[in-house]
Chain A
Amino acid sequence: MEEKTLLEAAGLNRKTAMAYEQLLVNLMVIDRAQPWTSNRLKRLVRSPKRYLTDAALLAGILRVDANAILREGDLLGRLLDTFVASQLRAESAVAECRPRLCHLRQEQGRHEVDLVAEVSATQVIAVEVKASAAPRADDARHLTWLRDQLGERFVRGVVLHTGPRAYEIDERILAAPIATLWSHPAAS
């Protein structure tokens, strides 16, 4: 969501909104994913993406339960995105590759990748979260675009979905269940 849209929806001026946002960051209610930028890509949005630190807070704030979330497609997508981001954020604190989690969005949302993990100065892993059970090539189009733009710098892209199977969608782009986040290597 564009920052301007967010401010308009909240009915706040920018200064007040920034103060409230900082307060929520200090209270550990929200966490900012910084924008990922590269001189290879043009027209990237430079404002951070805001996540609730815990997906359950979303249900607490809106006072909705699982049934209500399943009925609202947009809310479902945001909940899963927040859930995956919270898992990856906790992981990345101790991951060997020492990733830096960012997000990527081009102006007017032409291309948007939910999370971009910079695992070194030259390598990038991109993550998309989908509520569908069997994402297709079209669901990975932003990852494909990023891979084509970055070339060898793009290590791997993964579409995390709610289905049961892991498979390759395209070159260096996988689809995998969200549950692979906590699957034991021995389970394969």
Chain B
Amino acid sequence: MPPLARHGRSGASAGAGALARGSGGGRRSRRPLSSLRAALGLSGLGVAACLNPPCGDATSSPASASSMAVAAATFRQPSTSGGLFPELLGGRCAISPAGGASQTEGHAHRPRPNAARLRARRTRFGSRNFARCDDISVGAATKTGRLVRVPLYGMTVAEQLGRSTTEPLLDRLSRGDNLAVPRHPPDLRGYVELALQSGFPEAALSLSERTRARWIESYLDQLLTRDAMHVAGPAIQPSSGATSRPTRSTPPAWWRRRRCSRQRG
């Protein structure tokens, strides 16, 4: 598998979730859901990233495709002096407690956590004995009331900027708050470039504009050939091992028709 494609599978929004589980014990006190969000990097803008396992093994199976788009966490058992902390278990993925960064087994997305953060993460999230995301159904019965599922999506701009304290806009609007306007908001081109930056951690944080475009094309290529087969089964087969996506010289038919009609009009 080419490296870019491998990273693509570990990128954002297109895939799986991370699974979290309590491990019992600990010296902390019980915490509310907001603390769970904070610990998962979900405070404020919440979702740090949508994480995919780096390899298309179990999580590419059709049965688990929809249920993977969640993160779940259970709390540690309360103890005398301490409390509960969510612990990521599965998907070989961990969400940085600082928000914005994510790490998969074998390689980390930038910004790379420093040693202290990494140690803290290992402490908080335990060992790397990750479980598969679809294992949630096995242990979930005993975790009723202690398990929280959170849908994961691509990184937001706030997360990419490291603003983990930004409150969701809809919360601010529902309370009737005045909206804070940034001092230097982007112009139209700036917004377009932000949109094209994507919410995939690898593409958004590590790659140049030119490399990012290639990364996304490669990601789509993998998705629509190999992964589509895994999800849809044998009904969809790639044509002679080559990409089924249109090449640069042959854009999609509907796009060609639209452009032609515009040129005529």
Contact = CB atoms under 8 A, between A and B. Distances in A.
Interface of A: 9-11, 23, 26-29, 53-57, 59-63, 65-66, 69-70, 76, 79-80, 82-83, 86-97, 99, 117, 119, 123, 125, 131, 133, 155-156, 158, 162-166, 174, 176-188
Nearest to A72: B262
A55 B180 contact: no
B173 A156 contact: yes
B72 interface: no
A95 B179 CA distance: 16
A84 to B, nearest CB: 9
B156 interface: yes
B192 A76 contact: yes
Interface string B156-197: 111001010111111111101111111101111101111111
A149 to B, nearest CB: 19
A164 B186 CA distance: 8
Interface residues of B, number: 80
A92 B167 CA distance: 11
A75 to B, nearest CB: 10
Given A56-B212, A181-B158, 7 more contacts: A60-B219, A88-B169, A176-B179, A181-B169, A183-B166, A185-B166, A187-B181
Given A66-B193, A179-B185, A26 B66 contact: yes
Contact of B191 (A11, A53, A62, A162): A162
A164 B174 CA distance: 22
Contacts, number: 225
B12 interface: yes
27 contacts: A9-B258, A10-B254, A26-B65, A27-B228, A29-B223, A53-B14, A54-B13, A54-B198, A56-B203, A56-B212, A66-B192, A80-B192, A83-B191, A83-B195, A90-B45, A91-B156, A91-B169, A93-B150, A123-B174, A158-B179, A162-B187, A182-B166, A183-B166, A184-B165, A187-B180, A188-B178, A188-B181
A91 B168 contact: yes
B251 A95 contact: no
A181 B191 CA distance: 12
A63 B213 CA distance: 8
Contacts of A187: 180-183
Given A56-B203, A66-B193, A69-B192, A93 B219 contact: no
A180 B255 CA distance: 33
Interface string B9-27: 0001111000000000000
Contacts of A181: 156-158, 169
